[in-house]
Chain A
Amino acid sequence: MLDHSPATTAARPGRHPTDAGVGVGSAPGHHGELLQGVFDDGAGRLRRALVTLPQPDRGSRAIFYPSQRHWGVVGTPELIKVRRAAILALREFSTHPSPAKGGQVEIISDVPRGIGMGSSTSDVTATIRAVADYHGVALSREEVGRLAVRAECAADSIMIDDRVVLFAHRDGVVLETFGHRLPPLLVVGCDTQPGVRVDTLALPPAEYDDREVGALGVLRSALRRAVATDDVALLGRVATASARINQRFLPKPGLEDLLEIGRRHGGCGIQVAHSGTVAGLVFDARQPGVEDSVRRCTDRIEELGLVPTGTVGRVPGRPGGSGTAAGLAPGTVAGRTAAARTPA
């Protein structure tokens, strides 16, 4: 499989001394969005944008094996995006002193696919980082975001992992930075339609009416305050409102029932994947007894026949969520490979 030809492994200035002629990169998954819609970009234009809820306990890891030969055809859609990302990244470094002509990307991921947890952006971001790593280039988060959007038309903002942003997911630009981190959340996730897979490429873009555009601007302002003041209750209300607006476009069956389960256990609202099937009940991680609430909610979710997707976030001072660690525990790992080659 591997192509370690001397031509590609030689003379790569700036390479990490321990590498074995490959590039590696990783990226987290997410659990849908806290807010998604269209927003004023400050220049009088409305742009589609979102605020991602990162799930750092899950993720993809990419290994880039450089090559001078084409490695065949990739069949599945998600790997087409990875291949496109690798090609774009290779083009980006074509003026590098010793660029790779092509290569092969191996993806290891524990992000579930097709339910709105960011598997493809995670794969794509990890791939771009792996190709950059091979070339010894440190790309900024914004540059990775721009490339990811070019590779898959619309990308989540998981690559911008040092702050909370409103990300124009089709333009690859940050419209607003809300703050450095989200308030202390605990999100109990589930798949609202087990077995259903959403093809994000086939999903028609949501067409928001004037009233919804106004409401989305209001939600953006409320989220700005929620992040600035660590207000989980307000953040939960924003996420709930965004989820309800999305019911017109990609409805989650039983959204209000789920919301009620959360409310009965002291929850602050519900967030959803606006282009997937997952939903999450939002809790304030500082709330006394929150772990019991989370456990009881998970039980209720299972009773409804929905599949829990784990917990996002941590109780302050306690280790661990329920997802796997960034090292990707065996058993949950799906290995995938894709070949990429810059066009002649």
Chain B
Amino acid sequence: MGVRTGFEEATEAYQLPRLIRLAPNLHAASFSLMKLVPARFILRRALADGQLEPGTVIVETTSGTFGLALAMQAAQLDRRLVLVSDPVIDERLYRRLVDLGAAVDRVPAAAATGPGGYQAARLRRLAEVRAGLPASFCPEQYTNPDNPRSYAAVAELLLESLGQVDCLVGPVGSGGSMCGTSTYLRTVLPECRAIGVDTHGSVLFGHPDGPRELRGLGMSLMPANLDHRVFDDVHWCSAAAAYAATRQLHRRHALFMGPTSGAAYLVARWWAAANPAAVTVVMLPDEGYRYLDTVYDDGWLAAAGHRDPRPPDEPAVLDSPVPDSPASEAGPWTAYGWARRSYAEVMAAGDPVPAP
């Protein structure tokens, strides 16, 4: 083995997860900021391909951690960055983005009621911003195949460290992390199971678009980077269940993570306990600092109506991805055997689906 050396830059130092054992057969892939993986890969590749000349402005639509990851890498590369976001952006995140030199362009609050909600409005605004710039580069995390591709580095780490991975569990948003990591793991381990964690009211796996309290996973628009045929199972997790599991992850394992990590942990712990012979890995995408005054504040949780500190013990397993009854009646945690089918195959096989 070589001697230990330092990192060239912060984004390199922070991008890969730490692997931590949570149970005999359950390992956490705990990221500081998972979105650094695609942000760093895409921007460095654009630089190498000559798409990021010194005057080129990086533009992207995001209200979340992908923007932070881009801002960190843009600062490292000394490039300007414009982020088009929702009107309501987390104040802590906003301050970090601005301190990193990013310009944050917020769409008007009225866009919430338009078709496609904020996500569609952000895409329209992004096109306007680009039209006004002489040279711009958009990483396009929802459609750029380099997003899933960048997760080869995570699959490398998992295979080198664990050798065997029978099941990968993680939240789904753009589709990049779960599709990329599972696909690359399956180069060596074709039978590796992939379990996607979504939330009620997200269109990703067939729900009609609806209000979603749990942020950071799920979508109002279908991202091209989501390859549905990767997934063996899909789980839908409510905000309450995710928050309770987030706190449990912290209390039991001292892992201070955000609520999408909690949702993934909820599912992974259940699956690993039910399959004790299977090596299970759970993706924990970001840390808990942004949620100190919310998920980690009992007063806030109570005020938001989340009074039960215990997450549910097991999911309600559905015969169809879309519950017949409203989400509140189907339960805080539901699951469906997706069986590596395409979206169209699942929708054709299931009950009639209300138009989104």
Contacts and interface: CB of A to CB of B under 8 A. Distances in A.
Interface string B19-32: 00000000000000
A234 B184 contact: no
B207 interface: no
Contacts, number: 49
Given A224-B160, A225-B161, 9 more contacts: A214-B152, A215-B184, A218-B184, A220-B156, A221-B156, A221-B159, A231-B163, A237-B189, A238-B188
Contacts of B189: 237
Contacts of B153: 217
A176 to B, nearest CB: 10
Contacts of A217: 152-153, 156
Given A225-B163, A229-B163, A219 B187 contact: yes
Contact of B149 (A210, A220, A224, A229): A210
Find the residue from B145, B159, B187 having the highest chain A CB count within 10 A: B187
Given A218-B152, A218-B155, A241 B163 contact: no
Interface in B162-192: 163-164, 184-185, 187-189
A175 to B, nearest CB: 13
Contacts of A221: 155-157, 159-160
A211 interface: yes
Interface of A: 210-211, 214-215, 217-222, 224-226, 229, 231, 234, 237-238, 241
Contact of A215 (B146, B152, B161): B152
Contacts of B156: 217-218, 220-221
A215 B145 CA distance: 14
Given A222-B160, A225-B159, A234 B145 contact: no
Interface of B: 145-146, 149, 152-153, 155-157, 159-161, 163-164, 184-185, 187-189
A256 to B, nearest CB: 13
A151 to B, nearest CB: 31
B147 to A, nearest CB: 12
Contacts of B152: 214-215, 217-218
A210 B145 contact: yes
A325 B206 CA distance: 64
Contacts of B163: 222, 225-226, 229, 231, 234
Given A210-B149, A217-B152, A218-B152, A225 B187 contact: no
Contact of A222 (B146, B149, B188): B188
B149 A219 contact: no
A241 B188 contact: yes
Given A238-B188, A241-B188, A218 B159 contact: yes
Contacts of A229: 163
Contacts of A231: 163
Nearest to B151: A214
Nearest to B149: A214
Residue among A221, A226, A229 with max Cβ neighbours from chain B (10 Å): A221
Nearest to B159: A222
Given A225-B159, A231-B163, A218 B145 contact: no
A247 to B, nearest CB: 14
A10 B188 CA distance: 58
